Structure formats: structure tokens, C-alpha cells
Amino acid sequence: MTRHTILLLPVKTWDIGLIHFVLPSSGFTRPRGVDEVNDINALAVGLTFGVTAIVTMGVLQASKYWRIMDVPNERSAHSTPTPTLGGIAISAGIAAGLLTTDVPGTWLWPLLLTLCVLLVSVVDDLGRPMRVGRKLLLQLAASGTWVGLAPSMPIQLTQDWVLASGPATAVLTIVWLLWLMNMFNFMDGIDGLTTSQATVMSLGLSLVLVMTASPIAVLPVVMIPACLCFLLFNAPPARIFMADVGSLSLGFLLGTVTLTAAAHGVSLWLSALPLAGYAIDTSYTIFRRLLRRENVLQAHNQHLYQQLVQSGWSQLQVDGAALVISASFSCAALFELSGQHILSGVCMAMAVLGMGAGLWWKERRSRG
């Protein structure tokens, strides 16, 4: 069989614990990600959690004092004005945690600078809505900051196709980051959904990335306590929302995680599998709106999770169902990496059937 490759990588195997992984080698003699994750101690995790908690409480009180509130409208899932800007706390906690690890400066500072660029999105959350064009320029600036400052990487698209680093990978990286930032922004519409999803996605990706030689293998590990801590304030009924500054930052961070995994032996489609539930809902909704010739840039309430809430599901029930879907996709990726293809297929089938049933129900509901 012909291998359609741009860059061919030899295959090596790694044993971690009870799982036997078979991954293309990037020329490393030992999975660097394993060493980096093993170096994370209680200080890094505790600091991330603590900083997130302290900043969240500070932002919560400041939002109440200056009345920086998300006022409900006809599309909102909440009924009372709720403090916002909580995403600042998530970014602060992650940044604090990363600073205690040994992530190389060539990767660390581009990450932190890009998060600083995304802080500009607080303008949109302060009651001064940014136009779509300006918001897109901000996202382009963030993506460009990462591409311009972070080391250039190849991207393994599939098992047989690897795109060597260069202009094409730079364009793909920008498009990928833009898509994920907007995807998380679209899906952040009910209490606890994006925070809980980011937690389980980070957990799945941390297990994927630990098997690679990624220089930022610790990033998804540090994201877990930050998201878990914020979830304590954001779970239904939410006391504070993350707002654009949070959803855009989480989309960017998870985008960089999937791309670096794809640069170090895991195909992009496999590394992105934990995010598939969000991607399916977003893609399907946009596609349906395009078919109906609706303005896809206009705010709406046609996502599956929104339709479920409107039909009578509680926000907690929707969060739980979404967690099962994302966990199934994550398990599918991990089993595929370990060579257990049958178990991977079972998990994939469960997740796809769950999403398919939800979208089928949504179509029936929209037709009356």
C-alpha cells in the first residue's frame, strides 16, 4: 500500500503503566512529555487551583461592585443578571501553574503573551460590544502572536500524511485556532457547560499528550485544576460567567494542545477527538443555518444544548449528557493510541450515536 506522506516518521513503541502505546517517533529516545508531567508536583496543581479561586472571588466581588453583569435577554438561559469576566481567573490560574513548571521559554512566553492579547476581549464583556470584524481581528492577532513567536512545527494530519513546517502549517494553525476559539465562544451558553467540557477535554488530552514528546505536555494537566476550580463557581446555578475572555482563551489553549500533539506523533484528527462533541454541534448548526440562508454571524439559540434546555432539560442534565459524549470521544482516542481498536470503536460508536440521536431529535423538533 502506498503511503501518501509529506514527511515519513519511523514507528516506535512506549510502555507507560498498564497501557502499551504505538506512536510514530519524532526522533526522541524517550517520551519527553512523560518526564515533564511527572515533574509536576503538588505546588503547581495547588497554585493553579488557589490562584484561580482567589482571582475568581476577586472578580466576582468587583463585578458586583461595578455592576459588570450579563443581563439576560430572550436568548439567555439565565433569568437574573450574573457577574461576568470569570475567564480572567482561569487564565491567571493556568499562567501561575505554568510558571512553576519547566516548560521551555520558547513555548511558555508565546502562550502567556497570547493570553494577554486575548485579555483585550474584556472590552466586549464590559458592556461595549465589539463588532464582528474587530473581534475577528483580535482573534487573528492572538493566532498570529502564537504563530509568530512559538517554534515552527510540522502537523501530522493522519497516520500517513504529515505536513512539514512552513507557510502551509502557519495558515493551518491560524485557521485551526480561529475555529476552536469561535467554537468555544459559540458553545458557552449555559451554566457549567464549557467549564465542565474543558475539564474533561483537558483530562483526555493530558493522557494523549503525555505519550508524546510535546514540550507543553503539562499544559492540559495544569488546565484541569483551573477549570475544576472555576466550575465550583460556574456550575448550575452559576454565580459567575467566564465570558468571552474565558471561552476564547480555553479555545486557544486546547487548540495549541492538539496542534503540538499533532507535531509529536499523534495525528490531528486523533488529538482533536476529545473535542468532537463540541465540533459536531457547532458544525451542524452552522451548516443548517447556511442552508436556510440565515446570517451565521448573528446570535441565535439553535445549538443542540440550547434546544434541550428549551425543551425542559435542566442545565445540569445537559452538562451531564455532554460530559458523557466528550468522555466517550476521549476514551476512543486513548484506546486507539493503545492499539485497542475494538474498544476504541465501541466508544466512538457510543459518542456518535449519542450525538446523532440528539441531532435527529433537534430536526424533528424544528419541524414541529
Residue 2 vs residues 43, 157, 200: alpha-carbon distances, Å? 49, 16, 37
Element (H, E) at 21: strand 19-24
pLDDT in tens, 191-207: 999 999 999 999 999 88
Peptide bond into 237 cis (omega under 30): yes
Q: What is the mean pLDDT of residues 231-238?
A: 97
Highest-confidence segment of 25-29, 74-78, 309-313: 309-313
Q: Compute the mean pLDDT over every residue in the chain, rounded to the nearest whole number.
A: 87
At position 250, the amino acid (one-letter code) is L
Higher-pLDDT residue of 201 and 296 is 201
- Supply the pLDDT for residue 6: 41
Q: Angle CA(198)–CA(83)–CA(202) in degrees, nearest 5? A: 10
Query: Which cell numbers hold the place of 319?
Result: 452538562
pLDDT in tens, 90-123: 999 999 999 998 888 999 999 999 999 999 999 8
- Count, residues in the chain: 368
Query: Which cell numbers hold the place of 162?
Result: 504529515
Contact at 8 Å (CB) between 233 and 60?
A: yes
Report the predicted TM-score, pTM, of the whole model to 2 decimal places: 0.89
Q: Rounded CA gap, 154 and 210, in Å?
A: 18
- Supply the pLDDT for residue 82: 96
